[in-house]
Amino acid sequence: MKRLLLVGNPNVGKSVIFSRLTGARVIVSNYPGTTVEYTKGKAALSGESTEVIDVPGTYTLTPTNKAEQVATEMLSQGDVILNVVDATNLERNLNLTLELLSTDKPVVVALNMCDEAAHQGVQIDVEELEKLLGVPVVATCALSGEGIKAVVSRLEEARPGSLPHDPATRWARVGHIVEQVQRVLHRHHSFLDNLADLSLRPWTGIPLAFLAAAACFAFIRLIGEGLINFVLDPLFDTYWLPLMERLSVHLGPGTILHELLIGQVTPAGQINFRESMGLLTTALYIPLAQVFPYVFAFYIVLSVVEDLGYLPRLGVLVDTIMHRLGLHGLTIIPTLLGLGCGVPGVLATRILQSRRQRFISAVLIAICIPCMAQSAMIVALLGQYGVAGLGLVFGTLALLWLILALAFKRFLPGEAPEIFTEIPPYRLPYPRAVAQKVWLRTKQFLLDAIPFVILGVLAVGVLNMLHVIDALKAVLAPVLTHVLGLPPEAITALLIGFLRKDVAVGMLAPLGLNFKQLVIACVVLTTFFPCAASFVVLLKEFGVKDMFKASVLMVVVSFSVGAVLNLVL
């Protein structure tokens, strides 16, 4: 099977072209030995089955980070290279093009975003560019699909470059080519241009950032609560609850199988999906009906914001503040991803240049950033107290993030390099690409969440039947009661928190905790330890030694913050 590699700078529209070529049936994988992801799919191109691979974005074949190293290594695995070039930034993109032409691999160039270049007053002579490069060049607009068929039809014409390659004179050759093929005309700024300028200036960008954040979380809450109240809860109550009630009667309360599958029931024989802790009740209801709606809504927002081009602007906007905390401006990107799920948040730290920056950012995410699933459960528990409850929890976590960042700056010294990142123009997201991202991320969440929840509920059930939890309650009761002000029964939530923090927070509901205890428990569970999936990723990223240090810090911080809250409140 022939392999087609999509290669180009970041933010040039590779993923949209990939989506056009392959449809929605794709696989996201880690490159062997790394945590750098790439996407592959299959397509029938020119009557031949072809494996299409979306290579990680790179500016050069001389790697400066792990993603660029993977992109360079993957070139040897391809039969044909489709070099996707941003027509609005021709000079910068052609540097990589000339490097690709020196690899002896057959190349076709897709000159993408030609519509946007025209809007910016940029005119490119495609025929002259093809003549100078010596390989097929096709003008495309991935959003509308213009030129995609032409790209497919010209893949058979792919050929190695014939230009002499001298790294010392490459930029001079790029400049010569651009002079011959590109004309830039005057044009007036569009609304998106003006918005892009405003979002980079502190006095306007910061209010816009708060406004964007408020709009995003309002959308997430609207979609999440709507799915719960009008779709998922009615489905569970109407169709699943009667089945579980019949099964409960058939198995007989008190039997081992009933305790594992159904869990606890009320004296009247009723089943509460939140509290029963059965494999067929709580283990399914929590991830599907309570967590999934908010995660789904978050991934919609994240995919739109990513494709719109806002995240790099936000990184530049907060860079000055971040540097005063000893961090890099781009730390904001993995932090925001961590609000959805800790795993992609930790993986996204690879965009940072130094190991120190990556470690600090990952630890801050693990300790202070609750994932969307956990946040949803915190809102469900403390929403009745309004701003007072939610403000105390999330305000404490924000203050803790600030204190820890300053502590790392003081006790883990090192440089935070100046921000150097491309700021793409605002672009309207391509609905199909957004839908594909949401589908892939949501599917991965469900595949990760449900097994861990089932495993956690099963573990708690077995430990409970063996009276292990009762023994732990007796041992840890003095710490929980006197230091944290929590009842001994909270030990179950702490144990399950290692598998799924959202489920652990949900397990606080039947304990009858007062306002103070709910605040303390939510903060302690957030800071105590990462979930199993995040823990594994952290272990792979930073090794046993650094993970041990991080784990000790998490436990100390968690109980210290809990003790302080117990005294203050």
| Residue 449 pLDDT | 67
Residue 393 has phi, psi (to 5 degrees) of: -70, -55
Q: What is the pTM (predicted TM-score) of this model?
A: 0.69
Model confidence at 236, pLDDT cuts 50, 70, 90, reads: very high
Is the pLDDT at 392 greater than 80, yes or no?
yes
C-alpha torsion sign, points 116, 121, 127, 132:
negative
User: What is the rounded CA–CA span in Å between residue 195 and residue 425?
Assistant: 10
Pairwise CA distance, residues 65 & 358, whole Å: 12
- Residues 46-79 have pLDDT tens digits of 778 899 999 988 999 988 777 788 889 999 899 9
The pLDDT tens digits for 319-340 are 878 878 888 788 888 888 788 7
What pLDDT score does 94 carry? 95
Q: Which range, of 120-134, 321-335, 492-506, averages the lowest pLDDT?
A: 492-506
**Strand bridging mode 37-45 / 26-30:** antiparallel
* Euclidean distance between CA atoms 456 and 451, whole angstroms: 8
Q: Which two tokens stand for residue 167?
A: 């790294």
The whole-angstrom separation of Cα 319 and Cα 352 is 13
CATH class of 2-187: alpha beta
Tokens of 84: 């996707």
Q: How far apart are CA 239 and CA 218, in angstroms?
A: 30
Two tokens, residue 337 = 């991803």
Which residue bears the tokens 């009630």?
245
Match 């489920």 to its residue by tokens: 503
Mean pLDDT for the stretch of residues 258-282: 82
DSSP-derived secondary structure letter, 189: -
Q: What average pLDDT does the structure give for the chain?
A: 83
Q: For CATH 3.40.50.300, list the domain ranges present in the chain.
A: 2-187
* Alpha-carbon gap, residue 557 to 553, rounded angstroms: 6
Alpha-carbon separation of residue 94 from 97, 104, 106, 107, 417 (angstroms):
5, 17, 16, 13, 26
CB 152 within 8 A of CB 108: no
Q: What is the pLDDT of residue 68?
A: 84
| Average pLDDT rounded to a whole number, residues 441-458 | 75
CA Rg, the chain, in Å? 27
pLDDT at 443 over 90: no
CA distance 70 to 67: 5
Distance of alpha carbon 436 from its chain centroid, rounded?
A: 14
Q: What is the pLDDT of residues 546-560, one digit of tens each?
A: 888 888 899 899 889
Q: How far is the CA of 189 from the CAs of 40, 196, 426, 431, in angstroms?
A: 38, 10, 12, 25
| Per-residue confidence (pLDDT) for residue 36, from 0 to 100 | 60
pLDDT score, position 222? 87
What is the Cα 560 distance to its own chain's centre? 29
| pLDDT for 341 beyond 60 | yes
Tell me the pairing of strands 37-45 and 107-112. Answer: unpaired
β strands within 33-106, DSSP E? 37-45, 48-54, 80-86
Alpha-carbon distances, residue 315 vs 59, 302, 419, 421 (angstroms): 19, 15, 8, 9
Say yes or no to pLDDT of 538 above 90: no
Q: Is the pLDDT of residue 26 over 70?
A: no
CB neighbours (10 Å) of residue 97? 26
What is the distance in angstroms between the CA of the first residue and the CA of the last residue of the chain? 65
Chain centroid offset of residue 412 CA: 27
Q: How many CB atoms lie within 10 A of CB 270?
A: 11
Residue-wise pLDDT tens digits, 151-177: 999 999 999 987 777 888 899 999 999
**Sign of dihedral through CA atoms 33, 295, 353, 367?**
negative
Q: What is the per-residue pLDDT for 15?
A: 82
Nearest-10 crossing angle of helices 431-465, 14-22: 80
What is the pLDDT, as a whole number, of residue 34?
A: 46
Mean pLDDT throughout 335-349?
77
DSSP 420: -
